Amino acid sequence: MLDRVLVAIPVYNEERYVDCVIDEAKRFCRHLLVVDDGSTDETSQRLAQHGEIDVITHPENRGYGQSLADAFAFAAGKCFSWLITMDCDEQHEPSYIPRFVEAATEDDADIISGTRYPKGHAGDSSAPPDRREINRHITSLLNDRLGLTLTDAFCGFKAYRVSCLEHFAIHVPGYAMPMQFWVQAVRARLRIREIPVRLIYKDSARHFGGLLDDPEVRLAHYLHVLNTELSSGSIPSSPRDTDCLPRDTDCLPCR
């Protein structure tokens, strides 16, 4: 299984963390892709010192969504079976990679999404309040509009069945990409499962960039992208015959 799993890490100005994250990720995967999204610090130089990894380099910053779209295309082009994505700011622990691989081998889902809030958003206070509230609001809205049972709409720690990536046409380059992703996943009738990952915030002051640092502007942007995507096509109105059934607290009913 590990021979056909690719781990992809989008990075932008992560000189502080990139060496440790790559070294740790190498312990749990055989194939590693880093998408350097136009870093202007020492990230690119540090990546050059790591052997046995693939690197895609953007000449300028194109956004998180574009980095994931490039990872999708790379995984499909190289005929991997599964793609696992994780962040490079030490908020996603590489030691969880085997948990995603194990979930993938159970073969009851096409998208395995990490959740930092498996029991809901209300009980946690470590995440910045504005991020937690926007996540709660968007997660609830997606569940309502798409018939999902998500608990964390924005976790970037995910596993994707590569054969299903052909269903996605991601053209929102920035942090609103999940709005497109979830709508397109439901439209393609993909099976979705969540597994818990640890909630870690090492730097609550990290920026989204520009106007998106304003929570009200960020939420309005997410809602605009979501509504635009919803208006671009129909959404299935009934569950699929192949819905996965919950066997434990980690597996949510697919809709």
* CA distance linking residue 73 with residue 204, whole number of Å: 31
* CA distance linking residue 133 with residue 110, whole number of Å: 28
Measured in whole angstroms, the distance separating CA 7 from the mean position of its chain's CA atoms is 12
Domain assignments of the chain as residue spans, ordered by start: 2-230
Give the residue with greater pLDDT, 36 vs 1: 36
CATH number at 2-230: 3.90.550.10
Q: Which of 47, 21, 43 is nearest to 202 (CA)?
A: 21
What is the pTM for the complete model shown?
0.88
pLDDT digits (tens, 9 = 90+) for 209-251: 666 778 899 999 999 999 999 999 888 875 443 333 333 333 3
What confidence score (pLDDT) does residue 172 get? 93
In sequence order, the 6+-apart residues with CB closer than 8 A to the CB of 211 are 217
pLDDT digits (tens, 9 = 90+) for 81-116: 999 999 998 789 999 999 999 999 999 999 999 999
* CA distance linking residue 132 with residue 129, whole number of Å: 5
Give the residue with greater pLDDT, 51 vs 9: 9
Q: Which of 1, 61, 4, 58 is nearest to 34 (CA)?
A: 58
Find the Cα–Cα–Cα–Cα dihedral 89, 94, 96, 100, rounded to 10°. Answer: 100
Find residue 57's DSSP bridge partners.
36
